[in-house]
Structure 1
Amino acid sequence: MNLNEKSQANVEYMIEQIKTKLRMATGAAMQASAFSVNQYDDIYDLYDMVMNKQNLSISEVEAVVSELGQLRGNH
């Protein structure tokens, strides 16, 4: 997958990967299609940070979920 290309498919892929990594119990409520390619750079930064961490603390998970909620609401 070429994540350098700003596409809706890549946005949805990154959201799904973040949800999987965080083992989000509320993942079903966070539909990847609810995110816009207009927020690609923000989503990519979040994806990159999450994927490069071995483990995330509870506060980090909460921060990521909060950020995703804000991004979802701004599209």
Structure 2
Amino acid sequence: MNLEHANQENVEFMIETIKTKLRMASGAAMQASHFSVEQYEDIKDLYDVVESKNKFSISEVEALVSELGKLRKK
């Protein structure tokens, strides 16, 4: 997938990938449609961090989920 273009499809792909890699138990509450293309660069930064690692500590997961929560549409 080409993530160079800021569009809703790419936002949804990145959010779903982040949820899967973090094995989010509350993933259903974090729907990709709750995120806007306006936060594309921030979401891409989080996506890059998640993709760069295979394992995460509990505190890392909490921090990443917290950042995702801040990016949700109000």
- TM-score, with structure 1 as normaliser: 0.95
Matches within 5 A, 1:32-43: 32-43=32-43
What one-letter code is carried by the residue in structure 1 that aligns with 2:47?
A: Y
Q: CA deviation at 1:54?
A: 1.7
Q: 2:48 aligned with 1:72, yes or no?
A: no
User: Where does residue 19 of structure 1 map in the other structure?
Assistant: 19
Alpha-carbon distance in structure 1 between the residues aligned to 2:73 and 2:60: 20
Conserved? CA contact 2:46–2:64, under 8 Å: yes
How far has the Cα of 1:73 moved from its partner?
4.2
Q: State the partner residue of 1:60.
A: 60
Partner secondary structure for residue 66 of structure 2: helix
Conserved 8 A contact 2:11-2:32: yes
Kindly provide the amino acid, as one letter, of the partner of residue 45 in structure 1.
Answer: D
**What is the aligned partner in structure 2 of residue 2 from structure 1?**
2
In structure 2, list runs of 5 or more residues that go unmatched. none
Q: Percent identity?
A: 70
- Which amino acid counterpart does residue 33 of structure 2 have in structure 1? S
Is the CA contact 2:36–2:73 (under 8 Å) kept in the aligned structure 1? Answer: no
Task: Point out 4+ residue stretches in structure 1 off by more than 4 angstroms.
Answer: none
How well do the aligned residues superpose, as a CA RMSD in angstroms? 0.9
TM (normalized to structure 2)? Answer: 0.96
